[in-house]
């Protein structure tokens, strides 16, 4: 009897914890939508450069169990026929190295010079398998065509529809026919962002998974560029 009551109390505590986390996530999503027009003014090059200068690995990518689990989920979503990747927001190259270890050729971009310097030091042994460049994906044009473009935890810093829809056009141009767009962001705000890339009918959704995590929920969406021969 005592053990049963104890289990019931623990179960109730877990449910309340999940409910609290869902409410916080919902409120954060409302706040994000309200602040969306102002985000690019704050999350700009100076902000991220200052962040990296103050602290190495500011999001604890190398040691966080949450980040490592999310990395594994992201790797599992990459199709087998992907060989070349444009990585938006390379940071210090932690996930980039996981891609390189799997034989991918990566063009990594970031707006922080300090982050890229650390990424170059980290990835030096991979030679011409990796190319790193300081580039603003909103204002600048990357060189090349890729099998896959990866944008993980970065798009909500860039702005709203007026920024993301032109970005959809840019991604479309830089993917080969039948290429892939892999998006990973916090949930539920990430769902709104990912759906924008389907509005013009030039991508089709192959996979979408919401991962409910004790630390923070996230969503992984894999889109495929529709081949010219697939359109009327």
Task: Round to whole Å and give the CA distance between 9 and 6.
Answer: 5
Per the listing, tokens 């053990």 go with 3
37-230 folds as Rossmann fold (3.40.50)
Per-residue pLDDT tens for 98-129? 999 999 999 999 999 999 999 999 999 999 99
Report the half-sphere exposure of 198 (CA within 13 A, side-chain side): 16
Q: Are the beta carbons of 224 and 171 closer than 8 angstroms?
A: no
pLDDT at 172: 98
Q: Where are the domains of the chain?
A: 37-230
pLDDT at 44: 87
Interior CA angle at 44 toward 62 and 95, to 5°?
20
Is residue 31 pLDDT above 80, yes or no?
no
Lowest mean pLDDT across 4-18, 19-33, 65-79, 202-216: 4-18
pTM: 0.86
E strands along 48-129, which residues? 84-88, 105-110
Query: Is 103 or 27 the better-scoring residue by pLDDT?
Result: 103
């Amino acid at each position: 009897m005592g053990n049963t009551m104890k289990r019931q109390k623990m179960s109730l505590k877990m449910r309340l914890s999940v409910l609290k986390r869902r409410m916080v996530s919902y409120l954060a999503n409302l706040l994000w939508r309200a602040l969306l027009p102002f985000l690019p003014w704050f999350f700009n090059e100076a902000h991220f450069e200052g962040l990296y200068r103050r602290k190495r690995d500011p999001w604890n990518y190398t040691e966080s169990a949450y980040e490592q689990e999310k990395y594994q989920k992201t790797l599992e979503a990459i199709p087998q026929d992907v060989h070349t990747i444009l990585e938006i927001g390379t940071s210090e190259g932690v996930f980039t190295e996981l891609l390189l270890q799997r034989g991918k050729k990566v063009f990594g971009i970031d707006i922080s010079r300090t982050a890229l310097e650390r990424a170059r030091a980290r990835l030096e042994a991979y030679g011409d398998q990796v190319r790193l460049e300081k580039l603003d994906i909103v204002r600048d044009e990357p060189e090349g065509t890729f099998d896959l473009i990866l944008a993980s935890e970065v798009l909500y810093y860039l702005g709203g529809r007026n920024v993301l829809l032109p970005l959809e056009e840019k991604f479309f141009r830089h993917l080969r026919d039948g290429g892939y767009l892999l998006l990973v962001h916090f949930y539920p705000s990430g769902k709104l962002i990912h759906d924008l890339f389907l509005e013009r009918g030039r991508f089709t959704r192959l996979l979408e998974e919401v991962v409910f995590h004790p630390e923070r929920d996230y969503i992984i969406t894999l889109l495929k560029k529709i081949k010219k021969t697939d359109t009327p």
